[in-house]
Structure 1
Amino acid sequence: MKTKLVRYEIDLANPPPLTDRQKAELEALAAMPDETIDYSDIPPLTEAFWEKAVPNRFYRPTKTATTVRIDSDVLAWLRAQGRGYQTRINAILRREMLAALKER
């Protein structure tokens, strides 16, 4: 059996306007007091949950081009390890950033 594939492209910077029904639903939700919201189907987020949490494997940070002045011997050492010296620089900086953030 053949199925039809339908593709939609949405410009997230310029989404389509909400319908009257969607607006009414959002207004009803906004008017609802927090005490009336049923959270029973959501498990609590305990410390054990966060210990087992892993970063999103699909997350890719954006890259920014910049100019950095590095000592010649440091750059020579990084390049001597083969291709990908810029990736290694980024990994070293990220490791230090995460260590500093953890200390806070």
Structure 2
Amino acid sequence: MRQTNTKRESRTKWRKLATLPDKAINTSDIPRLDEDFFREAQVRLPKPKQLVSIRIDSDVLDWFKRQGKGYQTKMNAVLRAYVHAQRR
């Protein structure tokens, strides 16, 4: 799994984007959402997570904790990627 540094500053020029008028934004690659779309749309809530107790090597846990807030979510993402790869 590729590691992403989430602490790195974004290179996107957010202030410049915020000042652009709507007409200056190219939306040609975004499909139009008409009334039929919203009539047929369904709300899909994420499956609730299950609370478990698991033993993990201390060095592995320390590494994830050093990644900062959301380390358990990152651990879940790694496990999900593994499951996905095994199903192929």
Higher relative contact order (CA 8 A, sep 6+): 2
State the TM-score, normalizing by the size of structure 2.
0.49
